[in-house]
């Protein structure tokens, strides 16, 4: 049977498009190895407070430590999730407390910068790299979050001013359904590995490799037999890393996992963690002590926020603390973000009742040694 005349030209165009989008893969990718484990000498302590209010509804916080030691937070807020007035907001924590929040990404501003219609924005991710502060966030033109595109902006003055947002070309064709939630991991070649996810029809985690110049080098799927979302990654050494993922399948859910043994080139599925996940975002952090810390929700709903610790690179986990709890199943303490500052203090930010963002700061001593 003779193929139709249009088929060879179409295949040629598709091959060109794929080749133009995907840059040559550098040999032997590697993570920046985490520093040697250090004992925690900070005194036990815990404090928590709501961030300044920017709007009636707030969700999905992100954290970063600036070069001057201040803690930066970003989140999206408006009258409700997906409303036209939702913006990405930004504030910093210094010696005098939190600064007044400032809108740093809006529908109108993103539409003007990317020359595309924008219906809503959300899911900020922050990452500090020397004197540069990166912001990734999603924008949607049509439909729900599954139709998101990923945008990037940079500040060189600790968040006072931002470059115009640019839309990342994460696919050679429609360029939709790439979303971010967790911070990137530094790579040995000066680039970054950004955990992202896809949720248009299929739902799965992905690894977006960025070169030192910010170009997309490649995108790798995190394989799993069930539907997953919102990977969070911690590097264990130059070659090995653990990714934990939100369980988006039919419940009862577990925190799903994938691992890499080759610097992020491949992410095969690993055994599920023995920890619940009610289809909700999770956060993962390697502490200065070498322990791994997870923040997530208890089984059932999002009305309990828990912290789990592992002393053996994720092989075993134990419940360390219950941060928030409410008997009302409709109450939400969710979408945690974790950060350990250079001073050793651990920062946790999370959605509080959908009314605001709550920030908690504590020590490893408090985390590891007390009543739940």
Q: What is the mean pLDDT of residues 16-37?
A: 68
Second-level CATH architecture of 33-368? 6 Propeller (2.120)
Q: What is the mean pLDDT of residues 327-340?
A: 97
What's the pTM? 0.91
- Greater model confidence, 228 or 29: 228
Q: What is the DSSP string of 242-261?
A: EEEEEE-SSSS-B-EEEEES
Nearest to 349 by CA among 92, 44, 43, 35: 92
Q: What is the pLDDT of residue 249?
A: 85
Neighbours of 4 (CB within 10 A): 8
User: Given pLDDT bands bounded at 50, 70 and 90, which one contains residue 145?
Assistant: confident
User: Given pLDDT bands bounded at 50, 70 and 90, which one contains residue 210?
Assistant: very high
Q: Which residues face 169 on adjacent strands?
A: none
Q: What is the DSSP string of 38-67?
A: ----SPP-EEEEEPPP-SSEEEEEEEEE-T
Q: What is the mean pLDDT of residues 113-122?
A: 95
Helical (H) or strand (E) element with 20: helix 7-21
User: Given pLDDT bands bounded at 50, 70 and 90, which one contains residue 82?
Assistant: confident
Ramachandran bin of 160, using left for φ above 0, alpha for ψ from -120 to 50, beta for the remaining angles: alpha
Q: What is the pLDDT of residue 369?
A: 75
Q: What is the pLDDT of residue 201?
A: 86
Domain ranges of the chain: 33-368
- For a pLDDT cut of 90, what percent of the chain falls above it? 78
Distance CA(104)–CA(118), nearest Å, equals: 15
Cα 46 off chain centre by: 24
User: Given pLDDT bands bounded at 50, 70 and 90, which one contains residue 15?
Assistant: very low
Q: What is the pLDDT of residue 60?
A: 97
Q: What integer best gives the mean pLDDT of the chain?
A: 91
Sequence-distant (≥ 6) Cβ neighbours of residue 146 within 8 angstroms: 176, 177, 199, 200, 201
User: Given pLDDT bands bounded at 50, 70 and 90, which one contains residue 43?
Assistant: confident
Determine phi and psi for 13, rounding to 5 degrees.
-65, -40
């Amino acid at each position: 049977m003779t193929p139709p005349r249009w088929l060879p030209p179409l295949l040629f165009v598709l091959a060109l498009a794929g080749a133009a989008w995907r840059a040559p893969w550098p040999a032997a990718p590697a993570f920046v190895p985490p520093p040697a484990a250090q004992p925690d000498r900070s005194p036990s302590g815990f404090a928590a407070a709501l961030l300044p209010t920017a709007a009636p509804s707030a969700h999905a916080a992100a954290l970063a430590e600036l070069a001057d030691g201040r803690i930066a937070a970003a989140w999206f807020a408006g009258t409700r999730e997906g409303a036209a007035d939702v913006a990405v907001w930004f504030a910093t924590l210094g010696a005098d407390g939190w600064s007044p929040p400032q809108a740093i990404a809006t529908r109108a501003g993103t539409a003007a910068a990317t020359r595309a219609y924008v219906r809503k924005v959300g899911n900020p991710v922050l990452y500090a790299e020397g004197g540069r502060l990166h912001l990734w966030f999603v924008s949607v033109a049509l439909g729900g979050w599954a139709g998101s595109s990923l945008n990037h902006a940079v500040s060189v003055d600790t968040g006072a001013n931002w470059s115009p947002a640019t839309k990342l070309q994460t696919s050679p064709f429609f360029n939709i359904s790439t979303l971010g939630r967790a911070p990137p991991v530094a790579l040995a070649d000066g680039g970054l590995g950004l955990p992202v996810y896809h949720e248009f029809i299929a739902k799965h985690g992905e690894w977006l490799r960025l070169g030192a110049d910010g170009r997309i080098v490649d995108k790798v799927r995190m394989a799993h037999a069930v539907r997953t979302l919102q990977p969070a990654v911690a590097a264990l050494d130059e070659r090995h890393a653990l990714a934990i993922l939100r369980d988006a399948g039919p419940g009862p859910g577990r925190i799903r996992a994938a691992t890499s043994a080759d610097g992020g080139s491949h992410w095969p599925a690993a055994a599920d963690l023995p920890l619940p996940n009610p289809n909700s975002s999770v956060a993962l952090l390697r502490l200065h002590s070498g322990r791994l810390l997870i923040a997530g929700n208890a089984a059932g709903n999002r009305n309990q926020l828990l912290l789990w610790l592992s002393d053996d690179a994720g092989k075993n986990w134990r419940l360390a603390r219950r941060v928030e709890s409410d008997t009302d199943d409709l109450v939400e303490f969710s979408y945690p973000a974790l950060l350990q500052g250079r001073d050793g203090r651990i920062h946790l930010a999370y959605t509080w009742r959908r009314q605001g963002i709550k920030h908690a700061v504590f020590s490893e001593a408090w985390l590891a040694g007390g009543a739940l």
